[in-house]
Structure 1
Amino acid sequence: MTSLIEKKTPAWLNLSDEGVTVTLRYPTELNSVKTDKITLRAPTVRDVRTAQATFGNDAEKREMQLFASLAEVGVTDLEDLKLLDYQRIQDGYFRLVNEDEL
């Protein structure tokens, strides 16, 4: 019998051991270059600790700084994304760091 809930990888998400590439629904400028994709490299412990040390208990700022660092873009570039695209990045990140099968 097949599981009632099967979560497939969406077409806009490309996951690898090195990172995740998210195709944006709304093309945007990242580092002054118009693009429809953003790639986050796999985080290191240092990346997470640096974000934690910089922003402490502010989870929103900590996440934003971590994602900006992993994508090698400015925080303001991420802040200018449409919410749907930011949620895609969040989904991609959490799939990247989750070892469980989805």
Structure 2
Amino acid sequence: MTTTTATAKKTLPAWLILSDSSATILLAKPAEFNGVKVDRVTLREPTIRDLRTAEKVHPNDKEAQEFHLFASLAECSPDDFEGLTLRNYNRIQGGYFRLVREDEDAA
């Protein structure tokens, strides 16, 4: 483990479990996904296809693109994100951005 990676792991918030291919976000308050109350959401690592699909489905709406992308990565409906508290949504955004950034950016 490099110093940069060790430093990055130390600075992760307690609500985030990060691996090479996914981010598991512990929610501040349980939420409903796919009709089930959960206390965590896992996002898989996105592909270019995921990004392009979200842009194609919602060409002029960045917020809808993000909902579509996150729903694809979490394997749920974009509507599931509509019911989230802002605190939970901020955690999901934070988990996503930490998942996709390079190690050098994490320090």
Q: Do the structures match in fold with TM over 0.5? A: yes
**Segments of 4+ in structure 1 off by > 6 A?**
none
- Tell me the residue number matched to 2:13: 10
Q: Which residue of 1 aligns with 2:56?
A: 53
> Would you say 1:73 and 2:73 are equivalent positions?
no
Q: Given residue 101 of structure 1, which amino acid in structure 2 is its aligned partner? A: A
Matched, 1:91 2:94: yes
TM-score (norm 1): 0.90
**Structure with the higher helix share, 1 or 2:** 2
Q: Deviations 1:60-86 (Å, cap 9, x if unpaired)?
A: 000010000100011111110101000
Given residue 95 of structure 2, which amino acid in structure 1 is its aligned partner?
G
Aligned partner of 1:101 in structure 2 is: 106
Question: RMSD between aligned alpha carbons?
Answer: 1.4
Structure 2: any 5+ residue segments left out of the alignment?
1-7
Give the % identical residues.
55
Paired positions, count: 97
Q: C-alpha deviations, 1:28-71, integer Å up to 9, x for none?
A: 11111111000000000100000011111311000010000100
Q: TM-score, normalised by structure 2?
A: 0.86
SS in 1 for 2:66: helix
Could you tell me which runs of 5 or more consecutive residues in structure 1 were left unpaired when the two chains were aligned. 1-5
SS in 1 for 2:49: helix
